[in-house]
Chains A and B, each alone.
Chain A
Amino acid sequence: MASNQTQYKNLTPSNKLDKKTLNKMVWRSLFLQASFNYERMQAAGWLYAILPGLQKIHKDKDDLSTSMQHNLEFFNTHPFLVTFVMGIVLAMEEKKTEINSIRAVRVAAMGPLGGIGDALFWYTLVPITAGITANMAMDGSILGPILFLLIFNGVQFAVRYFLMYWSYDLGSKAIGVLTAHAKEFTRAATMLGVFIVGALTSNYGGTTIATTLENGDSPIVIQGILDGVLPKMIPLALTILLFWLMKKKGWTPVKCICLLLVIGIVGGFFKVFA
């Protein structure tokens, strides 16, 4: 469970991370989605990736534990752009920024990158390179796959390294200014985080009802009625229900997952969900 601590015990900023550690984390970022799952998506892979940095930053074992716990919360961003989020978060961890601020910045940074990365990689780089090289392969040229791998990975690694160093630098500079108003910054960053989680609820929320009611020639589409009241109503309602169950009833995430599994499979049996 996430600890409710808001401050690290040792508030002395740690030394800057050395190149070796940063490079190691770039490599580890390749395994961001290793334990991808529906609940927290890339969370455990994210923690795995920044762990070398966290271990260097937090010499106090309790602080390391606190940091690992909050870095294990829901996380999802574009796998090729993740080092951007890593750089900023590491810069904040290093300055022992308030944990709520780190969390908020992490959430705010991860969301928008998904769209940028998809546009850059899946809609642009892959169709162009794969399109050209696939035709070469179909003509029987072994150069096709080799060129594809070289171009794709060349771009991928350039982006990963560049973003890591750039955002780590950027983060280090920006935070120095912001610590003068740490409390106000935390509050504003948390607002942005909550705003983004609201956006994710709608943007990632895909649960819809497939049931239609017989009504002569014009069957009643339940989802259509729901959309008329409030689009994305089901994702919103479920999120608030789960929030209530966890906050007020003390449910654990595992218990919530079991509830959803039951709803999903029973619903699947009656063909409720689209």
Chain B
Amino acid sequence: MEYNIIQILLVGIVAFIAGIDQFNFLESLYQPIVVGPVVGAILGDLQTGLVVGGAYQLMTIGNMPVGGAQPPNAVIGGIMATVFAVTSNLEIEVALGLAVPFALIGQYAVTLIFTIMSPLMAKADQAAIKADGAAIAKLNYFAMGMLGLFFAIVCVLGLVGGSAVGNTLSNLSQEYTWFMNGLSAAGGMMRYVGFATLLRIMLSNDSWGIYFAGFAAATIIGSIDGLSGPCLILVAFIGVAIAINEFQTSIRIKSNLKIAGNGGEEDGI
């Protein structure tokens, strides 16, 4: 089936918006249950869109982007499954299968953009030093635009080129699996830079023990089945107790010193 330029453009726009919406804005427009019927309507078959969107939605329910992990991308997956189902009158299951390579490409795109944006944080630092709010806004818009554009390109390519493009893409990605794996391993490590930056400011020589205590508490609780989800809440309870105790103890010391009449300005630390 051939599509006119307006339909192709509209699918591109849907992919652009959905690509951004998966992390921002309403964080619900991108769900297959919404994207499916919209793409279906654009291609002239709302019914198929509804059915595919619903089916893909049920598939992704167990596959949420929880805790920052990147599952095969449901946005591109949902759009492409609808495209294939409508275009080729394929069985829903087959269409869903054909969409998988595209979903993987989407996952790679996200990994790539999250990596590229890391060094760009230095630019944000420069803007903050100059108190330049407009530059911070621009940086955010730029990142969203990049993400949306990438998704639009992949989906338009898929719409025009069909499942052949999917095969090419997945072959290509298989060849560079080592590179993408390396990139996501590096991506997983970059948060340690964020932690180290915080520690550089917050950590004094006498609080290493507290740092290790937090590490230990989270490691213990996180390794217990069923507690890995609420782990940080439980850890926070312990931390708050320690902090309140510290706060009250030092206030008591301060007031005792005052009563004793030798309370200096520099006490406590």
Q: Return chain B residues, CB-CB under 8 Å to A13.
A: none
For residue A87, CB closer than 8 A to chain B, the reply is no
With contacts A145-B33, A188-B246, A265-B179 taken as known, whether A44 is within 8 angstroms of B139 at the C-beta atoms is yes
- Contact: A69 with B125, CB < 8 Å? yes
Hey, what's the 0/1 contact readout for B174-197 against A, CB within 8 Å counting as 1?
000011111111111111111111
**Given A156, A187, A195, A268, which contacts B178 in the complex, CB threshold below 8 Å?**
A268
With contacts A41-B194, A181-B251 taken as known, whether A64 is within 8 angstroms of B214 at the C-beta atoms is no
How many chain B residues touch A (CB < 8 A): the figure is: 111
C-alpha gap A12/B168 in the complex (Å): 63
With contacts A116-B233, A137-B57 taken as known, whether A38 is within 8 angstroms of B181 at the C-beta atoms is no
Hey, what's the 0/1 contact readout for A101-142 against B, CB within 8 Å counting as 1?
001100110011011101100110011001101111110111
Q: Return chain A residues, CB-CB under 8 Å to B247.
A: 181, 184-185, 187-188
For residue A169, CB closer than 8 A to chain B, the reply is no
Q: Return chain A residues, CB-CB under 8 Å to B65.
A: 122
With contacts A38-B118, A145-B34, A243-B199 taken as known, whether A198 is within 8 angstroms of B136 at the C-beta atoms is no
Chain B min CB distance to A37 (Å):
3
Q: Which residue of B lies closest to A117 (CB)?
A: B66
Most buried by B among A31, A38, A245: A38
Q: Return chain A residues, CB-CB under 8 Å to B242.
A: 191-192, 195
How many chain A residues touch B (CB < 8 A): the figure is: 125
Total residue contacts A-B, CB cutoff 8 A: 424
- Contact: A191 with B210, CB < 8 Å? yes
With contacts A198-B215, A246-B200 taken as known, whether A35 is within 8 angstroms of B194 at the C-beta atoms is no
For residue B28, CB closer than 8 A to chain A, the reply is yes
**Given A2, A38, A198, A245, which contacts B213 in the complex, CB threshold below 8 Å?**
A198
For residue A232, CB closer than 8 A to chain B, the reply is yes
Q: Return chain B residues, CB-CB under 8 Å to A231.
A: 219, 223
C-alpha gap A261/B114 in the complex (Å): 13
The dominant DSSP class at the B interface is helix
- Contact: A36 with B117, CB < 8 Å? yes
For residue A224, CB closer than 8 A to chain B, the reply is no
- Contact: B115 with A37, CB < 8 Å? yes
- Contact: A203 with B218, CB < 8 Å? yes
For residue B243, CB closer than 8 A to chain A, the reply is yes
With contacts A112-B232, A145-B53, A204-B191 taken as known, whether A73 is within 8 angstroms of B197 at the C-beta atoms is yes
- Contact: B29 with A149, CB < 8 Å? yes
C-alpha gap A122/B51 in the complex (Å): 22
Q: Return chain B residues, CB-CB under 8 Å to A183.
A: 268-269
Q: Which of B203-260 contact A (CB under 8 A)?
A: 203, 207, 210-219, 222-223, 229-233, 235-236, 238-240, 242-244, 246-247, 250-251, 254
Additional 9 contacts, C-beta under 8 A, given A112-B233, A195-B238, A260-B190: A74-B191, A108-B243, A119-B230, A148-B28, A149-B29, A152-B26, A181-B251, A201-B195, A253-B197
User: Could you give 7 example pairs across A and B, Cβ below 8 Å?
Assistant: A43-B124, A137-B37, A144-B54, A194-B214, A195-B243, A196-B214, A246-B196
